Amino acid sequence: MNNLNEKQKMLSGELYDAGDAILVAERQQCKDLCFEYNHLLPSKIEERQSLIKKLFGRTTDKFLVEQPFYCDYGYNIEVGENFYTNHNVVILDCAKVTFGDNVFIAPNCGFYTAGHPLNVEERNKGLEDAKPITIGNNVWIGGGCTILPGVAIGDNTVIGAGSVVTKDIPANVLAFGNPCKVIREI
């Protein structure tokens, strides 16, 4: 018998009830912080960094998250040194989302760890699952990319604009398309 609460199920990759009161409260708290962050003057760099440090599970000394930015929980996001994300990035961090050092993300990108059952009865009950996303060091993700649950992108890789990344992409390659696939080594 499974004695895990819904948050524990979410973090372990099992089906969980996204409508659980604890998860709803945590998402609401996160959304309030995102709202506060997105309404700070862009010139208030120190205040912005302080809020991101409060929001994310791990940060480093050098990072910049342009506004607007949105996420679900925040505590599942970890960023390496010299992390930069441009405007209008969404990270649905129901599972861990890890970014290495020197990661650059163009505008309008989405990182989605959450998935929903194909079974209509389970889906209509509000059940979902989550799989982690891992982005290596020295990765550049072009504008308008979508990174789906469970994906890992290797070091030194470039993902071309508009790509939908549905499976792992190895290190040291240029990849793009829908679905994203390796075009050549770099």
Residue 143's pLDDT band (boundaries 50, 70, 90)? very high
SS3 for 140?
Answer: strand
pLDDT, tens digit (0-9, with 9 covering 90-100), for 61-85: 999 999 999 999 999 999 999 999 9
Q: Which domain holds residue 50?
A: 6-185
pLDDT at 1 over 70: no
pLDDT, tens digit (0-9, with 9 covering 90-100), for 27-56: 999 999 999 999 999 999 999 999 999 999
Catalytic residue chosen out of the listed positions 31, 96, 116, 125: 116
The candidate with the shortest Cα–Cα distance to 126, out of 13, 6, 26, 29, is 6
Report if residue 1 sits inside a domain: no
Distance CA 124, CA 13 (A): 19
Please tell me the predicted confidence (pLDDT) of residue 3. Answer: 83
pLDDT at 17 over 60: yes
Structure tokens at 17: 């009830």
Q: What percent of the chain has pLDDT over 70?
A: 99
Active site (annotated) includes residue 87: no
Structure tokens at 123: 């889906």
Report if residue 155 sits inside a domain: yes
Q: Which residues pair with 128 in a beta bridge?
A: 16
pTM of structure = 0.95
Q: What is the CATH number of the domain that holds 112?
A: 2.160.10.10
Q: Domain count of the chain?
A: 1
